[in-house]
């Protein structure tokens, strides 16, 4: 029928999904700015035995648009403008023991052009100490640490903060929800509610 199925890291014209979701595959594909269609398109093509017009199956998901606070067509338009570089040059660290593993977050971050590193508070994952004068007096740029609240991760937070401050950067220790929210919106924003300190009341 002339339809080619490709892996999520490849360029594609259409993303077929039953709803607007923040899964790894959906967010990786969304970063490329494809037209998002209802996965019912595939079933309909198989049933009819011919390729139908995908424009008749544009995904409409008012429930999740309201839940996530973003219109799907707006996110797609932003993705096309971003061209996979929404997070270009944005350093994102992630704890090695984060809940559900770091692989999915790495895939989403890198699909959007981020600099992604695993943080274990060892040499090789550190920011070079820098003064404001060495940065030409520029304000500190944010650097993110994705983490969950597992006991083994918490001791890394103050060490990450010190590393960032010593490197003249602004540490932001956040829930991975921050990354998922940015990726689905295709807009680099920051809300303090994603800070782990806001979630544990500290």
**Domain span at residue 44?**
14-82
Residues 106 and 73 reside in one and the same domain: no
Give the end of a domain, one of 82, 102, 119.
82
CA angle, corner 112, sides to 12 and 34, nearest 5?
25
Here the CATH number for the domain that contains residue 98 is: 3.40.50.10190
Same domain, yes or no, for 133 and 68?
no
- Are 193 and 100 contained in the same domain? yes
Domain-located, residue 136: yes
Same domain membership, residue 183 and residue 125: yes
Q: Identify whether 112 is part of a domain.
A: yes
- Residue 19 DSSP class: S
Residue 26 within any structural domain of the chain: yes
Q: What is the pLDDT of residue 5?
A: 65
Q: Is 76 in the same domain as 142? A: no
Question: Does the pTM of the predicted model rise above 0.85?
Answer: yes
Query: Tens place of pLDDT for every residue, the chain, 202 residues?
Result: 555 665 666 678 999 999 999 999 999 999 999 999 999 999 999 999 999 999 999 999 999 999 999 999 999 999 999 999 999 999 999 999 999 999 999 999 999 999 999 998 775 557 777 777 777 778 899 999 999 999 999 999 999 999 999 999 999 999 999 999 999 999 999 999 999 998 765 5
User: What residues contact residue 30 under an 8 Å CB cut-off, 6+ apart?
Assistant: 15, 36, 75, 76, 79, 183, 184, 186
């Amino acid at each position: 029928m002339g339809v080619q199925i490709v892996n999520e890291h490849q360029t594609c014209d259409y993303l077929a999904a039953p709803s607007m979701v923040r899964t790894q595959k959906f967010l990786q594909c969304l970063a490329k700015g494809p037209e998002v269609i209802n996965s019912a398109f595939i079933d309909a093509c198989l049933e009819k035995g011919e390729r139908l017009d995908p424009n008749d199956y544009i995904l409409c998901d008012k429930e999740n648009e309201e839940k996530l606070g973003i219109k799907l067509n707006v996110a797609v338009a932003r993705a096309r403008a971003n061209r996979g570089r929404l997070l270009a040059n944005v350093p994102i660290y992630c704890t090695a023991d984060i809940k559900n593993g770091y692989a999915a977050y790495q895939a989403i971050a890198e699909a959007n052009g981020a600099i992604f590193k695993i943080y274990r508070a060892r040499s090789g994952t550190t920011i070079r100490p820098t003064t404001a004068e060495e940065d030409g007096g520029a304000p500190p740029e944010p650097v993110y640490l994705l983490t969950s609240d597992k006991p083994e991760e918490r001791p890394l937070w103050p060490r990450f903060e010190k590393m960032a401050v010593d490197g003249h950067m602004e540490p932001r220790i956040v829930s991975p929800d921050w990354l998922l929210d940015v990726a689905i919106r295709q807009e680099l924003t920051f809300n303090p509610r994603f800070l782990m300190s806001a979630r544990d009341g500290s």
